[in-house]
Structure 1
């Protein structure tokens, strides 16, 4: 006889609060009900009561892991309305920050995934590497979280010593290529726990509107950095990563290879950093009436910002759609027919972010 098991909203297997109610028969999951919305913060409403400069700080607090992409996407929307073109150096620095943030986010996910599998030594190795990435972010911005790097018309701080950052990036690259990637792609324990588990077919991924690494692991060759290029991605020759096996292993491989690509992009951007100003000096406090919609590729996938201006210093409307908002429901397709013991790893494989979802 089927029985129900509630997991969450607060549970050791979760990074943040949301709830799965599993319907099981024996040890096999037959269905699941997914519930989000336990910590709503009304960020969109608050953004419509503050000026654009204060909103940059506000939207950066949508998420502590992908804070930079929220600020940069909001800034790009406002700059699009105002017809502001940022300096080339600023575009490169924004790209560097975006890829460092992606690297940090993927390492955080990989560490949590290792812990879910029970691979504690791998967890410690990855988190030590994550610390090195956070050291780079602190060197550039002065902060390890919520970097405050984005401003209208460019970036708030310059990169003074690219070579010093390059040296640390090379250390991270060596550790990824010699330790993290080989273990995640060849270790028998990880393969046994991930191969053929949590299948999200390409058809289901399209039906649920999946984005980011989750979609690319199901054979959907879509990455905003390529399809709608922004910052300096066109100049740096971005290469997307796609897998076809549609399981947890594919999601592991996509994120692992994306970390290597992020390192390459950071190296190229630092080596070819344009000279000149890193921000515009004269930025208007009021933005002309108009509207703009902008998309960026956050670590978890496409983030969408719509901003409307009525000609004042405060936006008339701000709408935010985050990748986890569309990715979390796809858990329903992944868990059917899977063993109950695999559910923590399957739900973790989408890298759910409830701070983004419950913005």
Structure 2
């Protein structure tokens, strides 16, 4: 290892919107090994949730990730409604799915633009980010916010999408179809993009299974998984759509999956709008006054893959335990497989291909005394402390 040159990506790097450090150990231009250093972004969201009311926790988990700001409330709502045995009204189901799919479109457009930028194709970057704007305008029209929409609550949603707004949403969807056609054509037909992405950063189907990767990262390697279909919820079983997969497992395949998924998202939203038009306005929630003691798990297919929330309640107004796994937690680890054996110039786009988000992935590794700098707890001791806390809650519940 000492004979190899070390090329750092991070902790501050144009590729990464957040700090994280990847050390590439190289022989000449070829990457031979990768080391990953974490710990720059841990914010203690799970512990904070235990001090909030259930309603406040929705606003908290929205801020786990700016790009997936409805995915975590979606999963958290599914977990809480499992505990409370609540069936959400159909109108709320349609609204939830509309918000989720609009977010998928805006996330995928953001990724396509950034991928173009990393490859030096700034025309794609400018196109994609320009075409995201009408989607963000829709969010503002529906929720009042371009990000962190504050739409979810236990039993339904906080705001209706009035039928009078449906024509405007359809107008934006028609605009987006044409622009996604343009972007898809630019990516699928450009020989330079093919040369820079095909055969680059390959992750095999076996690698996906070994690392338990999820989302477009997995589907680009031929793994046919999608929480929206495999664990039906919201309006997804009420509409017609299909799971997009590809076989290449390379950067090009990941771009292909995301581009084609946008067409499916548009199709889902259009059908949800049809459903809204047939239902009475205002029927958007079931009032839930008390949450019983219990355990719930909630899943949602975020733009990057499966989000998982585990919640334990003990009859109070706050979660007793709240554990969260974001898709990047498993997807980022595949970088070692996709990067080793590649050239340094391909390392950045191989990492970007999984659409990594670090702030929703971080976990605490050690606890230090701020005043003295002395280590108080290491990683193993933190786990043991967590187990003791869980056992105490179990005994008292």
TM-score range, shorter chain: over 0.9
Per-residue CA shift, 1:151-203, capped at 9, x if unaligned? 121111111121111111110111111x1111111111111110000010111
**What's 1:204 paired with?**
207
**What's 1:323 paired with?**
327
Once residues 11 and 342 of structure 1 are traced to their aligned partners in structure 2, the CA distance between those partners, rounded to angstroms, is 15
Per-residue CA shift, 1:236-275, capped at 9, x if unaligned? 1220001111111100100010011111111111122241
**What's 1:156 paired with?**
158
**What's 1:344 paired with?**
348
Once residues 254 and 17 of structure 1 are traced to their aligned partners in structure 2, the CA distance between those partners, rounded to angstroms, is 27
User: Which has the higher mean CA deviation after the structures are superposed, 251-260 or 6-15?
Assistant: 6-15
2:89, 2:286 within 8 Å by CA — same for their partners in 1?
A: no
**What's 1:279 paired with?**
284
**What's 1:296 paired with?**
300
Once residues 166 and 103 of structure 1 are traced to their aligned partners in structure 2, the CA distance between those partners, rounded to angstroms, is 14
**What's 1:49 paired with?**
51
When the two chains are superposed, the root-mean-square deviation of aligned CA atoms in Å is 1.1
| Unmatched segments (≥5 aa) in structure 1 | none
| Unmatched segments (≥5 aa) in structure 2 | 364-397
Q: Considering only CA atoms, is the larger Rg found in Structure 1 or Structure 2?
A: 2
Query: CA offset at residue 121 of structure 1?
Result: 1.4
- For the pair 1:238 / 2:241, whether they are aligned, the reply is yes
Once residues 73 and 87 of structure 1 are traced to their aligned partners in structure 2, the CA distance between those partners, rounded to angstroms, is 17
Once residues 166 and 140 of structure 2 are traced to their aligned partners in structure 1, the CA distance between those partners, rounded to angstroms, is 14
**What's 1:184 paired with?**
187
1:9-28 equivalent positions in 2, closer than 5 A: 9-28=11-30
Query: CA offset at residue 282 of structure 1?
Result: 2.7
Query: Closer, same or farther in 2 for the Cα pair 1:342/1:41, shift >3 Å?
Result: same
Bigger RCO (CA 8 Å, 6+ sep):
1
- For the pair 1:256 / 2:259, whether they are aligned, the reply is yes
**What's 1:59 paired with?**
61
Query: CA offset at residue 281 of structure 1?
Result: 5.5
Once residues 292 and 123 of structure 1 are traced to their aligned partners in structure 2, the CA distance between those partners, rounded to angstroms, is 40
- For the pair 1:332 / 2:336, whether they are aligned, the reply is yes
Once residues 121 and 248 of structure 2 are traced to their aligned partners in structure 1, the CA distance between those partners, rounded to angstroms, is 23
1:9, 1:18 within 8 Å by CA — same for their partners in 2?
A: yes
Query: CA offset at residue 278 of structure 1?
Result: 3.7
SS in 2 for 1:356: coil
Query: CA offset at residue 346 of structure 1?
Result: 0.7
SS in 2 for 1:354: coil
Divergent runs of 4+, >4 A = none
2:26, 2:32 within 8 Å by CA — same for their partners in 1?
A: yes
Once residues 286 and 324 of structure 2 are traced to their aligned partners in structure 1, the CA distance between those partners, rounded to angstroms, is 28
SS in 1 for 2:354: coil
**What's 1:112 paired with?**
114
Once residues 345 and 188 of structure 1 are traced to their aligned partners in structure 2, the CA distance between those partners, rounded to angstroms, is 17
Per-residue CA shift, 1:133-160, capped at 9, x if unaligned? 1111111111001001111211111111
